[in-house]
Amino acid sequence: MSVLTINERSPIFLMKSSNPINILPLTVLFLSISRGLIALLMGGMSTQLVYYGVTIFGVAVSLLGITRKKMQIVGGKKLYQILVVNLLVYIYWIVTDLLLGGGAESILYFLRMALIPFVIYMFLNVDEKLLMRLLFVVSVLVAASCILDFILLNTNIVANGRDWYFWYASAFRQGGMPLGSHIAHVYRATGITGNMHDSGNLMAILVVFWFGIIMTRRGLRYVIISMPIFIVALLMTFSVSNIFAAFAGVVAIIIYQMRFIKLRNISVIISVLIVGGAIYLLAEYFFNFNWSLITGWTLKLRAVQWKAITTIGASDFWTDFFMFFAGHGFTAKISNIPFITEFAVLRMAYNSGLFTFIISLLLILYPVLCFFKSSRLTRKMMLPAVTAVGVGVLSLWHYGSVFRSTNIFLFYTMFAIAIQNKVRNHLLKQ
């Protein structure tokens, strides 16, 4: 039975997805991604207030998830145990860090790593079809904002395009993020988040999720039509780490599905290519769009750029070694590695400490572990969301946008959808 044909009143979860409380996680997901639009509509006068307000609201909704711990889901006990252990080790971490002189950034890190993960229990009660509708809306929103940015900055399609961009982007740019970041002469799309890496990370996760959906589900023509647009939007961010992560996710799906390939899968891929070709020709003919601009992200692969991306930095070997296990690297400021390296996974390890970070990895990789322990049918149902989770974790090799307040709720939405699909298949076999 297809996941999409299951009665949405099925008692898979304790509460019906029509329960009013389920509007809260949906609101958090939408607001976290579109908060830049809210700041823009408010004239940019209260940008930081909007951002802090959305984050606080997200944390509050996440805390409600703790009260829903008794949900009888497959693997629920193990998941809850991991969440609790993760919370306890981060409570110890934040107390120690504040004693060492940590401040607001340490508190925000604690919220993201220890409390926000409980939002999983909020998303688990929301019907998957409703989640997918909202995911498609935010996909279009982020993609459209990236494409608009790129057109305004790099073409003459809109008169005074750059002036328009600098006017509205200044209203919601992230603190310290320069306006108009570019590679050579080509400007990078920052999208609605105001940060090219955040928008690139969102699009990487969403591209892989939707690609997995069209490879494993029937119908969804609107996704097939939109897929080339989502890919173009990702490329326009020039976020190399996220482009690579998305590519790895797509390849993983193709390889996994290779032995189950059907004529429908081939027709879907051909349809995406036809739509992509049509978009290419229409944009070039009607708007005289220079598609060679899209390949500008490959300039980041030059030796000098690649060296900057992969720099780790080093101070005293034994100091670096000790801080890797002890953590609190940003507060203690003894090792320079967390301040120099762009490897987010390494920065997080130096901040959390190795043991605490391993607990975090066990948590965020939980759907992947469930995937490999499941039956073939269950894996097929879980594949799109699990691969999206994997892409989010893989993207930690650079910058770590997946754990920023803009993106983290999307990550845990994918986490919840993966667990939902495991639960549904378990109940269908009973």
Spatial distance between the Cα atoms of 287 and 305, rounded to a whole number of angstroms: 32
DSSP 364-406: HTHHHHHHHTS-HHHHHHHHHHHHHHHHHHHGGGTTTGGGSTT
Q: Where are the alpha helices (DSSP H) in 292-343?
A: 303-309, 317-326, 329-332, 337-340
User: Tell me, what's the pLDDT at 42?
Assistant: 77
Average model confidence (pLDDT) across the chain? 82
245 or 67, which is more confident?
A: 245
166-178 pLDDT tens trace: 888 777 765 545 5
What are the pLDDT digits (tens) for 409-423? 999 999 999 998 887
pLDDT at 11: 38
Q: Does residue 184 have a pLDDT over 90?
A: no
CA atoms of 92 and 111, how far apart (whole Å): 13
pLDDT of residue 174: 54
Confidence class of residue 272 from pLDDT cuts 50, 70 and 90? confident
pLDDT at 109 over 90: yes
Tokens 């328009």 correspond to 164
Residue 404 pLDDT greater than 50, yes or no: yes
* DSSP result, 194-247: T-HHHHHHHHHHHHHHHHHHHHHSS--HHHHHHHHHHHHHHHHTT-HHHHHHHH
Q: Which pTM was predicted?
A: 0.87
- The yes-or-no verdict on residue 181 having pLDDT over 60 is yes
Structure letter (DSSP) for residue 187? E
Residues 382-403: tens digit of each pLDDT: 999 999 999 999 999 888 889 9
Reported as a pLDDT band with limits 50, 70 and 90, residue 14 is: very low
DSSP letters spanning 102-145: --HHHHHHHIIIIIGGGGHHHHTTS-HHHHHHHHHHHHHHHHHH
Q: How much of the chain is helix, strand and coil, in % rounded to 5? A: 75, 0, 25
Measured CA distances, 246 to 46, 94, 209 (Å): 34, 33, 10
| C-alpha gyration radius of the chain | 22
pLDDT at 247 over 90: yes
Domain locations in the chain?
16-309+365-428
The distance from CA 202 to its chain's CA centroid, rounded to whole angstroms, is: 4
For residue range 295-345, list pLDDT tens digits in order: 766 666 665 456 666 677 777 778 888 888 988 988 988 888 888 888 888
As a whole number of angstroms, the distance between CA 45 and CA 39 comes to 8
What average pLDDT does this structure show over 122-131? 88
